Amino acid sequence: MTGAKVAFLHGLPSEVVDVITPYTPDGWTTEVVHRDMPMDEQKAIVSDADFIMVYRAPLGDEVLRAANKARMVQLLAAGYDSMNLPLMAALEVPCANNGGANSWAVADHAVLLMLSLYKRQMHTDPATRQGRWSAPVSGTNTFEMADKLVGVLGIGNIGRQVARRVQGFDADVQYYDLYPLSEERERELDVRRVSLDELFRSSDILTCHTPLTPQTHHIVNRERLAMMKPTAVVINTSRGPVVDEAALIEALQGDRIAGAGLDVFEQEPVDPANPLLQMDNVVVTPHIAGTTWNTWFRRAEFAYRNMRRVWNGEPPLAIAQDFD
């Protein structure tokens, strides 16, 4: 049997592509397909591909239907909300995500947002540069992570990494997930399972790490934000529509919660007129939590290893779930 063909559909710089493609197994081929390539050319390339690997590129239905031999769509990302999972199911082509390859990077970033809010980093940095030394810090408006209760919404690969990190700052962790951990795993991670309402009511920090599905769309909504402590903060490094932005803006403007740290937005790129960008109790970044140089090597290694499993007749890992 000849080696497999991988069609790599992407929107990446060439330097990153050059890191990923050398992981192609011996005897296999990887054909690189930039997202700007004409649709007919994309369809021609995937027509005899055994696997389609995707990152930062739309996988159109026409292209997917043209992939007559595809055994799996392998994502280099964690999120799969842009994939047409029903069509893939109808075509009997499974879709796998990156198996947590970017979980370290996203977890680091979530903690960065927490600490930036607690230590007012977005105020102290410009003040220091402008010669206003300690002006933003009064002694009453900065805080520690120790003894805070961190609520993790979604305890998958990233959520578990966040739990470990905040425990290193002496915080306690509770979580809610549609698919709870076993009691043994909860003891191992030192996390406590609570109801969704309790997560919102009692958490000092609510950090979102759930995939975007019909069930999680606007799971952080007006009603649940109203349950939160006025001293609580919301962190979102998952997907923008997990949080109802209009409700979050209302809660922040009304001082019903203390702040928010956001890497993702309902509209991306974010509208410069978005009120969240004008608030001094909000820290923002441009959907970069999972983007580090280190992740590309792990993403590539996992992706090709997972495709080899399928090629060898083994079940794939990290299959995306459609929560219907």
Distance CA 281, CA 59 (A): 37
Catalytic residue chosen out of the listed positions 41, 62, 144, 268: 268
- The CA–CA distances, whole Å, from 274 to 251, 263, 269, 313 equal 15, 14, 11, 49
What is the separation of C-alpha 49 from the centre of its chain, rounded to a whole number of angstroms? 28
Distance CA 64, CA 6 (A): 14
Catalytic residue chosen out of the listed positions 239, 245, 298, 299: 239
In 3D space, the residue among 278, 279, 281, 234 whose CA is nearest the CA of residue 110 turns out to be 234
Q: Which residue has the tokens 């060439």?
A: 14
In 3D space, the residue among 222, 160, 210, 166 whose CA is nearest the CA of residue 186 turns out to be 160
Q: What is the dihedral of CA 218, 222, 224, 230, to 10 degrees?
A: 130
Q: Which residue has the tokens 């649940």?
A: 224
Q: Which residue has the tokens 């509770």?
A: 174
Q: What is the largest CA-CA distance in the chain?
A: 70
The verdict on whether 34 is a catalytic residue reads no
Catalytic residue chosen out of the listed positions 287, 301, 308, 309: 287
Distance CA 217, CA 293 (A): 30
The verdict on whether 287 is a catalytic residue reads yes
Look up residue 33 and give its amino acid.
V
Sign of torsion over alpha carbons 277, 280, 282, 283: positive
What contacts 91, CB < 8 A, 6 or more positions away? 64, 65, 70
The verdict on whether 41 is a catalytic residue reads no
List active site positions: 239, 268, 287
